[in-house]
Structure 1
């Protein structure tokens, strides 16, 4: 049974107040407002009925009992099919019985927006941003191709047409296309689990052939060049440089650096719970990291003067250019079966995440055991850690000479 009860919105009101239904789903109380209203003096809260003083009370009470029966019948029929009872459908039943009107139809676009809004409870803002990007792409596809977007039409033929559109019209790379398809499958799986549709074509959607990008990091000499820059006349860049170097010294993600509070800083280490993975880390502080923290202590609410990721990345490219990081780096892009490689100066690729890669690579090159690096950075396994390593040519030469000696 659904266990439906009726209550007044304001039991102390001197004027008619709205009646709402309280339904219990999975042990949680859900409010469903009705178009009915009554004076509190004309309502029997214990019996859950209109009093005789209410005009046409007999028919009004019969309507309430009929509504409870209809809600219970829907609940039992839905549960018997192994589906979830949706609060939206309960509202539809109430509207149909009490007003004779059907609520506005929920469109495919509405479902997309509702899913994104509901997801804000459980996922990070960066993930929400990627969901919005996916929504914009699929709606643009529907408009450009005059495709009737609905759960029933998102089949295998649609997935291929959508991927072609993303490659040819939106000009996305394979990696970006795969991210959109991944979010499409998350959306369809979530809405299927909620009982909004019965289609499972999405389980057979395939990604495009991807590629593993070569991750860039700094060498000891390049890092030293950034440390040695005189930025006394560029306070904005000086702050960005210091925050970046703090990441190079600790291996922390940028999101954890900008969230770092003074109370998390101790004499020789910092204690924090990571934003992305919720891991508890104790990170030792090098003399450089300690001096950076000391330099900015008490000058802002957080431990360091960090900006947004976008503004920091823009500053870092200026800093790297000033440090003359001109070495060319190969950048590969894959769009469909078309593969291209470009040689780009290193300064043009420097970003906040380069600091974490630099820490891991230089720590391993210096002889730190992988399991120690993992303990500091919070990596779960060596395979994940290995993606961040970049053994330089000089290290290869040194190791080879050691072998020969």
Structure 2
């Protein structure tokens, strides 16, 4: 059985004084002969600390009050865990105090702490912020330890009733699962309710254009901004890059027939052989802009404006109404699949860490089936 933690103030444990000749006061937490220490950021002279408290200084009472208040705050974290039936170890206590967390911490506070300390991209951090705001709308002040299987089921039901798109709902649940995984790692919760709750696979609602429609777009005679938007969409079809990556694309990302860029969303680097893919059409497109793709990508503007301009161009080649700029990425994956390129290669080109993610972009149509069975005799 794990015993309760004992606390006391200790002075100058490191045996090192600062330039003013003062030593640091720390809080010692001891449990079963193991000890950890918390800094109080309070320094006093050697003669001003005795018998576990500050002495011989005018503000001794005030300092002692502040120091023992710090001990009470740490002890309150321990008691929070005990009330929840959690056995408190020194590593757990240290992590909880470091992150200013306890079992009674709000889920949003914990989540913001986790995301703030991470190296996630800005877009991902914004998605987490949206999740936390959404959770507050569902149930204000929900605590980390309030999240059980029934909560997840109810939250999923609420998301469904709120009219969110399926993939948006799934994305929210995945982000929540990641936050709770971190809570489990820190021993704030004993198990993640998502171990029982299965999140469905995302549904691909983005279409793609056929090779014939792609050729139709290439053949359009356009001027000005229409020409820029069409060419940017072609870049997506030839490379599989997202809109955010295309707007960040510059000529220094291209060398010796390869396009190498760290993706804006994931920071995952992709290497794309543009000199050979789609008969090197990407290289020819770069030549159109005097050997500097930045002349195209710098002038695109926001995604919404691009999609508004793109719509009539897609209509002119008979593309479905659901096609958007992002469909160029889907087109890239689908056309490569129809040409018989192995899905593991397509996954690598798209910058996916898991092939299961790539499968969302690949549809089994008659063309795929014909290619797959052509070698069967």
Report the TM-score range of the alignment, normalised by the length of the smaller protein: 0.5 to 0.7
**Residue in 2 aligned with 1:186?**
178
Aligned pair 1:131/2:128, yes or no?
A: yes
**Residue in 2 aligned with 1:84?**
92
Please list, as runs of the form range in 1=range in 2, the aligned pairs for 1:6-405 lying within 5 A after superposition.
33=41, 44=45, 47=46, 49=48, 55-56=57-58, 81=89, 83-86=91-94, 89=97, 109=106, 111-120=107-116, 121-142=118-139, 149-168=142-161, 170-195=162-187, 197-198=188-189, 200=191, 202-207=193-198, 212-213=203-204, 215-232=206-223, 234-235=224-225, 237-275=226-264, 276=266, 278-285=268-275, 286-294=279-287, 295=289, 305-321=299-315, 323-326=316-319, 346-352=320-326, 354-366=327-339, 368=341, 373=346, 376-379=349-352, 384-390=357-363, 395=367
Distance in structure 2 (CA, Å) of the matches to 1:220 and 1:11:
74
8 Å CA contact 2:167, 2:202 repeated in 1: yes
8 Å CA contact 1:181, 1:207 repeated in 2: no
8 Å CA contact 2:77, 2:97 repeated in 1: no
TM-score relative to the length of structure 2: 0.66
Deviations 1:108-160 (A, max 9, x none): 55x414522541432222322332232222221226xxxx7334433333333
8 Å CA contact 2:263, 2:269 repeated in 1: yes
Q: CA deviation at 1:181?
A: 2.7
Structure 1 gap ranges (5+): 13-18, 24-28, 38-42, 93-104, 327-345
Deviations 1:6-59 (A, max 9, x none): 9xxx979xxxxxx99799xxxxx987556xx9xxxxx64xx4958x99744777
8 Å CA contact 2:347, 2:358 repeated in 1: yes
CA RMSD after TM alignment? 5.2
Distance in structure 2 (CA, Å) of the matches to 1:155 and 1:351:
39
Distance in structure 1 (CA, Å) of the matches to 2:165 and 2:346:
33
Change (3 A) 1:11 1:305: farther
Deviations 1:308-348 (A, max 9, x none): 44444444334323x2425xxxxxxxxxxxxxxxxxxx133
8 Å CA contact 1:177, 1:208 repeated in 2: no
Q: CA deviation at 1:392?
A: 5.7
Structure 2 gap ranges (5+): 1-6, 29-36, 82-86
8 Å CA contact 1:112, 1:135 repeated in 2: yes
Change (3 A) 1:212 1:266: same
